[in-house]
Structure 1
Amino acid sequence: MNTTKRNLLLAGVVLLTGAVLQSCTDSKGERKAIPNAADPVPVKIITLEKSSATIDITASGQLTTDDETVLSFKSGGVVSAVLVKEGEAVRKGQLLATLDLTELNAQVAQARFGYEKAQRDLQRVTNLYRDSVATLEQLQNVQTGLDISKQQLDAVIFNRTFAEIHAPANGYVLKKFVNSGQVVSTGNPVLTTNGAAQGNWILKVGVGDKQWAAAKKGDAATIAIDAFPGKTFKGTVLRKSETSDAQTGAFTLELTVDSDHEKLAAGMFGSTQIHSGQAASSWSVPYEAVLDANGGEGFVFVTADGKTAHKQPVNILSFDGKTIRISAGLEDATSLIIAGSAYLSDNSPIQILK
């Protein structure tokens, strides 16, 4: 290819690129011209009006029960047997796991021998005291020794009793942490169970501080669970955490869930709308008007004179899928730009379309 042909080809590419850059496709598939920076940007506006509406709190989390329990042995030792598997149904009082009792039985035997010796010592010193051979102090010391040995025997018998783990309620095994032959220390988790058979289901959700303050114990809620598309469950705010999570900074709300005879499982993902009943004054705007929404913040474009757009940060109160309610940031604004915002920057010239 000679130099003249190459230059003509490059010129054509530049012209084609320029033509492409001068147009774009809107949400309906129609091509729209992109305004030049100096030209007024065509926009549509609405008049802002503040209104009062009840606050619906939207949040998501996972299902659990109000009696989820981590079970462990009172004493350390070698695990003799774990008699259940994850997901298995259990009955209250059912034997779930045991320790090897060799070491614990030896401790009980030692304590019992010590207690029996203390009994013989007390009998011997009592006889000597009656014959005025032993003193009162010696008798009292031996009596104390007997009491101590009795307490030691009771303690090791108690520990041996808790070398077995029994189900605290009818429910399911959620997690198994150890297997037979493993060595565990005192208090190490062995099994996690819940009382799912009782139907006491809880949805734990994380919310921000404003949502936490708006929610009240007893507020009704509508709950959707991913495993049951198209179905909703009734719920109620059961309790509120009194401190935020150290890692996420979110506050926890716990909601009761009416299972409506559906078989739920711990760990299922659910979302909720809590109907707080608390009214707040705010602005309802189309979601397209809010840009760069992140959590409770975003920005919009407003105009005061109909000729210039101004970028305005706002605080987002709630979102229902169609409209966003703005709690703060629009106090001094009268007109909101709802179309054409993508081409605007602060102080851009605008042309209002009818």
Structure 2
Amino acid sequence: MKKIIYLILAVAIVAIMILRLRGNKETTINRVYQYNKEEAIKVQAITLQAESIDSDISCPGTFEPNKETKISSELQGRINSVLVDVGSTVKKGQPLIQLDNALLKLQLQIVEIQIEGLEDDLQRYIILAKADAVQGIQVEKTDLALRSARVQKATLLEQIRKTTIHAPFNGIVTAKLTEEGAFAAPGIPLLQITDISQLRFTANVPEGELNQFSMNELYTISPDVYPGTVLTGRLTMTGSKSNMGNSFPVQFTLSNTADLKIKSGMFGKVQRKNTDSEKHLIVPASVIVGSNIQPQVYLVKDGQAVLRDITVSKRVENKVIVSAGLVSGDIIVANGFVNLFDGANVIVN
């Protein structure tokens, strides 16, 4: 009897669970939005007309110093003093670092004494040789020794001169890599000098716009941080190899402002007027769907959205020039892409 009761209870529980699950499924289905593909979608559209490009060509780039170098010593020795600091403005030939040269100066004094003695000896031997008191070979040896000592003196003077490190050109100290008491050695950088009175500006120009730039012509360049500042740069280099973005490096040389406010590493733009008077089909970049490899747009034909493959020849700011796939008079969807698909019924607002 108990087994029958337990069986009835189990069957009742299973039945209740099945009914509850079925009810939950119906509730979920009712809550889910069922999109009607036959219902017309409201979109905004534009009609294409051929037009000319009236925007300027603008390419971003970076300012770099015309001259920059790391200064090192030609001799090794202890640094007695560093005469400049980071941010110091220096002139060409100005002393920057003084190395210890006491030992060299002592060696110079010894050589000068030797020269003085050899000069006296040479004068005496010349007089004695004329009187046949000494052989002529003695005069020659003394003369050779004197010349050798003078060369040694010149060498020491040059070494002493090199213990004072001078600025190679006008500029600003942008890095201090040593301190007083440190040891200098050939090839080890001590200071970095940067000249920003003259600048180089390097921009990456897309392949399609490269023919708009010509060597030695003047172009307008403006720094991003100072939009009201306009500089003039001369094109001095066009890259022979494209970079990863299929654009080419183009370099300009220009003078900095009087207060040198354009710094190395700042961003800017080079601009030129667009000389292309030919008319093109131009569409906003926002209407393009698909991928960069295969761009597409939605055409409106007979109340339906038709997906059409296009070919983009060039991008100009937030617009693109279409070279194939569209003709003047075509109507394309500009807004309302939600739920839009190829063949969908549409209503143009």
What is the CA distance between 1:59 and its match in structure 2? 0.7
Which amino acid in 2 is paired with 1:240?
T
Q: 2:261 is paired with a residue of what secondary structure?
A: coil
Which amino acid in 2 is paired with 1:238?
R
Q: Gaps (5+ residues) in structure 1?
A: 23-32
How is 1:19-168 mapped onto 2 (pairs within 5 angstroms)?
A: 19=33, 44-49=45-50, 51=52, 53=54, 56-62=57-63, 64-90=64-90, 93-102=93-102, 105=105, 134=137, 143=144, 150-151=150-151, 153-167=153-167
How is 1:148-227 mapped onto 2 (pairs within 5 angstroms)?
A: 150-151=150-151, 153-167=153-167, 171-195=171-195, 200=197, 202=199, 204-208=201-205, 210=207, 211-216=209-214, 217-226=216-225
Check 1:41–1:92 CA distance in 2 against 1; reply closer, same or farther (3 A cut).
Answer: same
Distance in 2 of aligned mates of 1:115 and 1:14: 112
- The equivalent residue for 1:349 is 343
What is the CA distance between 1:167 and its match in structure 2? 4.1
* Structure 1 counterpart of 2:326, from 323, 333, 337: 333
What is the CA distance between 1:270 and its match in structure 2? 3.0
Structure 1 residue 279 and structure 2 residue 276: aligned?
A: yes
Q: Decide whether the 8 Å contact of 1:71 with 1:190 is kept in 2.
A: yes
Check 1:324–1:188 CA distance in 2 against 1; reply closer, same or farther (3 A cut).
Answer: farther
Distance in 2 of aligned mates of 1:169 and 1:352: 70
Structure 1 residue 308 and structure 2 residue 306: aligned?
A: yes
For these two proteins, the number of residue pairs brought into alignment is: 320
Q: 1:87 is paired with a residue of what secondary structure?
A: coil
Question: Deviations 1:182-216 (Å, cap 9, x if unpaired)?
Answer: 334324332233455xxx35362331363554324
Rg bigger for which structure? 2
Distance in 2 of aligned mates of 1:313 and 1:174: 49
Question: Deviations 1:288-311 (Å, cap 9, x if unpaired)?
Answer: 1245888xx883426597763223
Distance in 2 of aligned mates of 1:106 and 1:168: 28
User: Could you tell me the TM-score, scaled by structure 1's length?
Assistant: 0.64
Q: 1:160 is paired with a residue of what secondary structure?
A: helix
Check 1:133–1:337 CA distance in 2 against 1; reply closer, same or farther (3 A cut).
Answer: same
Which amino acid in 2 is paired with 1:339?
A
What is the CA distance between 1:279 and its match in structure 2? 3.0
Which amino acid in 2 is paired with 1:234?
V
Distance in 2 of aligned mates of 1:247 and 1:116: 67
Distance in 1 of aligned mates of 2:149 and 2:291: 70
Which amino acid in 1 is paired with 2:232?
T
Distance in 2 of aligned mates of 1:317 and 1:106: 72
User: Could you tell me the TM-score, scaled by structure 2's length?
Assistant: 0.64
What's the Cα RMSD here? 5.1
What is the CA distance between 1:161 and its match in structure 2? 1.5
Check 1:14–1:169 CA distance in 2 against 1; reply closer, same or farther (3 A cut).
Answer: farther
Percent of aligned pairs with the same amino acid: 15
What is the CA distance between 1:178 and its match in structure 2? 2.2
Question: Deviations 1:10-68 (Å, cap 9, x if unpaired)?
Answer: 6645654x42x95xxxxxxxxxx9x69x9999673432525355751221324x54454
